[in-house]
A and B are shown apart, each in its own frame.
Chain A
Amino acid sequence: DIQLTQSPSFLSASVGDRVTITCRASQGISSYLAWYQQKPGKAPKLLIYAASTLQSGVPSRFSGSGSGTEFTLTISSLQPEDFATYYCQQLNSYLYTFGQGTKLEIK
């Protein structure tokens, strides 16, 4: 099974900061990776698919990059509504594993 490891698991940042979250796959998955945002008590929301394509309606301060085994999600200038937990998900095989999550907190 393909394992995904996100780093860091916790991130403390301030409004206006640029932050980057990394997702590493245990084997190559081409660009079959998605990023989701989840706020407490809510369902996850798709942000990025195909590693770098912004989902419709998602602000352009979110961006994704990478291929193979290393991927990043970048938020260029944190807004108050961005404090949430972020998950990556691999879509390369029919075992659609998620990363363990990165909780982004206000400093």
Chain B
Amino acid sequence: EVQLVESGGGLVQPGGSLRLSCAASGFTFSSYDMHWVRQATGKGLEWVSAIGTAGDTYYPGSVKGRFTISRENAKNSLYLQMNSLRAGDTAVYYCARGVLDNSLDYWGQGTLVTVSS
């Protein structure tokens, strides 16, 4: 059974940093692109980052230069290092598995990040 379990969320002050983790199981992690998607309370989905099987990374302008996605295939783990956090980064962060056409077929339960003083 495919499982994705996020962790590392919490309360952080503006300008601070946080590292999210996503533990994957039930599939060959190294063979799949992986993504982070976030959702502010009551708002829609926002794609945050992706990492390919070769380690290539992609970001939208809203987080580029502040967020870094990485993976550790030996540990079946995905990470999101978030720096220079802003109130607007407050959201539930989901990790998700990307398939052939880059649709996201499995999602974790999400971890809440709150940026507030």
Q: Which residues of A contact B (CB under 8 A)?
A: 1, 32, 34, 36, 38, 43-46, 49-50, 55, 87, 89, 91, 94-101
Contacts and interface: CB of A to CB of B under 8 A. Distances in A.
Contacts of B110: 43
5 contacts: A34-B103, A34-B104, A89-B47, A98-B44, A99-B44
Contacts of B34: none
A87 B45 contact: yes
A27 to B, nearest CB: 16
Contacts of A44: 37, 45, 94, 104, 107
Nearest to B48: A96
A46 B94 contact: no
B44 A96 contact: no
Given A96-B47, A98-B46, A50 B101 contact: yes
A55 B101 CA distance: 12
B105 interface: yes
B91 to A, nearest CB: 13
Contacts of A1: 60-61
Interface of B: 35, 37, 44-47, 50, 58, 60-61, 94, 96, 99, 101-105, 107-110
A94 B103 contact: no
Contacts of B50: 94, 96
Contacts of A97: 47, 60
A49 B96 CA distance: 15
Given A43-B107, A43-B108, A43-B110, A91 B45 contact: no
A102 B58 CA distance: 27
Contacts of B94: 43-44
A89 B103 contact: yes
A38 B50 CA distance: 21
B103 A49 contact: yes
Nearest to B95: A43
Given A43-B94, A46-B105, A100 B44 contact: yes
A94 B58 contact: yes
